[in-house]
Structure 1
């Protein structure tokens, strides 16, 4: 099993129960005690859990907490890749689209490399680099300027200014949280402002967010649920939440991540 996959499963267990024990994880993951402890140390250093004797505890995030790209990239891998694959079906050759920063939108960008003649506007350093190095030769990438956040988004007045004269067919947006009253939110005020500018310049807002984002509220709201033309999430979301979302977003798309194979290999 890949290290990234193990750590994603550890975080999923934490999300379900709030605590995990090394002995239980050894049985669940089918690896050695030492391997599990090494994974817990790595996740602790990234601020994703609190390591304690014999196991770990979940860390409660304040609304202004903003994990870095590397920390978020090990969470919900199968869900993100399934969401990205489905969202990519909404993109066709010749389109002009905007793509926000985030690990789910970065997974989307991997699919965009196979679609020709795109114009992609993004404030994500990671997305721009991927499309530049592996994208189709007919694809044009416009990277906004701006201040760089912990999640490697370029935000602020420079980014907003660069978007004012643009018009795109769709904006694919990743989010920190989604909630009935707060809508789609982020812990970063400047990122919220930048994403709102991209929403205003797009014909359609397509949100890509895994089910763990439901009920999470970041410091600043970017859009109400009803502003999303499409929300692509995974079938792990509760029936109650999916009912609320179906009543508010234009179209709710649920994907099954169970059969998704991880795209990247990692040494254990």
Structure 2
């Protein structure tokens, strides 16, 4: 039984308790016995306690399911995202890697998982409401088909009084079912998951921004390390040149000749 069903049961019992209390008060004023009413009231209070316990258990069970979903989904989202980042870094030849369990990714992944769970629960409500509409439509179609069968039999002169009565009853059933269908469709139309869906999309965009920032940061560090290594190499080449080929000159540029692509970048700021 879902939480909504528990709430309906509790509301019904509370209503009966109120009615019974009113009857007891009326009996007291009238001077009539209240034994049976008080016994009924005690039973209702027992039923209320049981219903409240079931509701609490249902809420706890639902919370446990929510927590399990968020934990599992959050862990999977963080792990798969970090794996994708590391795969891209590897493809770029960047040696650094993002460790699994990174706080930045775990935090965003957790928020995505929470939003997904909220959206999923709204989608479940939509599914339940849609199923209710479908059941009513099916039942109305069955009633209409039965009326058509009775009409065909009547035209063939094969109808009975029982079928005539059934035909009338089916008309009343269809009217009642159409009323229920109207309410069911209104309930379905009243459930909107656009806000929950948008929340998930916003958080996924946040994760993508984190991925992009992480990749740019990692590649920037990689390039900075390459620059340090290049300058260290130029210094070593300069010292070696001064010692073994002083005739080339005294400046680092006298001994280090950039390749054409690096020279083009230093002059123009563009790549080719």
What TM-score do you get using the length of structure 1 for normalisation? Answer: 0.19
Instruction: Choose 1 or 2 for highest CA Rg.
Output: 2
The structure with the greater share of residues assigned to helix is 2
The structure with the greater share of residues assigned to strand is 1
What TM-score do you get using the length of structure 2 for normalisation? Answer: 0.19
